[in-house]
Amino acid sequence: FRAPPDLPLHFILTRLATTFADTEFWLRLPSALLGTTTIVLVFLLGRRVASTAVGLIAALLLAVAPYHVWY
């Protein structure tokens, strides 16, 4: 896969994370938290709109999406 472009929000979150320390943990923390939260929100949205099965399938598809995993 090609490398995704540097998006403005990702750039800002990386800059904020590096104010604490310049370690790999702080650099990856915003992406990990937002990525995990997004999967949960997609599940809840799918469950509310259709059913629990739809929510699970949507969350699974997002969890294995290459662009989502990259970040």
Q: Over the stretch 2-56, which tens digit does the pLDDT of each residue have?
A: 666 677 887 888 888 888 778 888 888 888 898 899 999 999 999 999 999 999 9
How far is Cα 64 from Cα 27, in angstroms, rounded to an integer? Answer: 22
pLDDT of residue 71: 65
User: For 62-69, what is the mean pLDDT?
Assistant: 86
Q: Which position has the token pair 């937002």?
A: 34
Amino acid at site 9: L
pLDDT of residue 44: 97
